[in-house]
Amino acid sequence: QDVAKKGSDIEEGNLILKKGDVLNPGKIGVLLSQGFKTIEVFKKPTVGVISSGNEITMQGEDLPFGKIYDVNGNMIKNDAVSCGADAKFLGVVRDNYDQVKEKILESLKDVDILLCSGGTSAGLGDVIKHVLDELGEVYIHGISVQPGKPTIVGVIDEKLVIGLPGNPVSALMIFNAFVAPPLTEVAGIEKDFEQKVIKGVMSRRIHSPVGRMQYQLVKVNGSEIQPIFKDSGAIFSLSGADGYVKVEKSVELLDEGEEVEVYLFN
């Protein structure tokens, strides 16, 4: 009575864990029970996040006229953490060429991937492309989606630099659609992003620009899919959105009552 027989828990020759398993408390407990003090693990990808913009100030500071609180920095950082990355927010930099260049060079010393939000458009104050052109190579500048057209992707010293749009809705949509899946894979986490898809019918008509894939924020109410008509700077729309509908480039109109697929947020 109250005696565990040898091999009753783990038999000789049993595989305890396989390469690529993600450690959790239960798996760590099994390793400890077998006398393992340390094991070899894959390093998490390190991700740095920078916000750029003359109009940005941090929470806890004064908010002068014409300024806004930074949203993207810690929002994107936490999204990267949920993808299995070791992510950190590296602060805010002004739309100044020398300051952006210095910040990018300094940040790349400590991270594998650098995410910059803002400063990606073609305006005079948007300098990230010019910095990437000088320090490395730009592979993508502008993608045919809405929101998020000014997204930029480049490489400096064999490290990936991704410029996300400055508007928070655009930044989050582009991260979830294009950055999160490969980042999760690099982190060694098996996660099928396509599983979180449901079907429903549109409660209202959506007009979409032909030639650009549109990611339309929506709210799910049973089988009814309600579009959220706000611009990409309307941050409150994120808190009420359950996911988004993809409107293909060739589609100009999704009509009321039409069946659609909704990609749910994590």
**Distance (Å, rounded) from C-alpha 131 to C-alpha 97?**
7
Quick one: which of 64, 52, 188, 195 has its CA closest to 120? 52
Homologous superfamily, domain 195-264: MoeA, C-terminal, domain IV (2.40.340.10)
CATH of the domain spanning 46-186: 3.40.980.10
The H or E element containing residue 244 is strand 243-247
| Model pLDDT, residue 150 | 87
Domain locations in the chain as residue ranges: 46-186, 195-264
Residue 50 has a pLDDT of 95
Answer for the pair 80, 87: CB distance below 8 angstroms, yes or no: yes
Q: What is the pLDDT, as a whole number, of residue 92? A: 93
Low-confidence ranges of the chain (pLDDT < 70): 119-125, 191-195, 230-234, 237, 266
Place of tokens 């458009």: 121
Distance, CA of 171 to CA of 157 (rounded, Å): 24
206, 258 Cβ separation under 8 angstroms: no
Predicted pLDDT at 124: 45
Distance of CA 215 to the CA centre of its chain: 15
pLDDT at 190: 73
User: Given this chain, do its domains 46-186 and 195-264 carry the same CATH topology?
Assistant: no
pLDDT tens per residue across span 88-126: 999 999 988 999 999 999 999 999 999 999 865 555 447
- The conformation of residue 192, written as its DSSP 8-state character, comes to -
Structure token pair of residue 137: 């190579």
Tens of pLDDT, residues 29-63: 999 988 999 999 888 999 999 999 888 999 988 88
How buried is residue 149: exposed, middle or buried, by Cβ count under 10 Å (0-12/13-18/19+)? middle
Instruction: Classify 137 as helix, strand or coil.
Output: strand
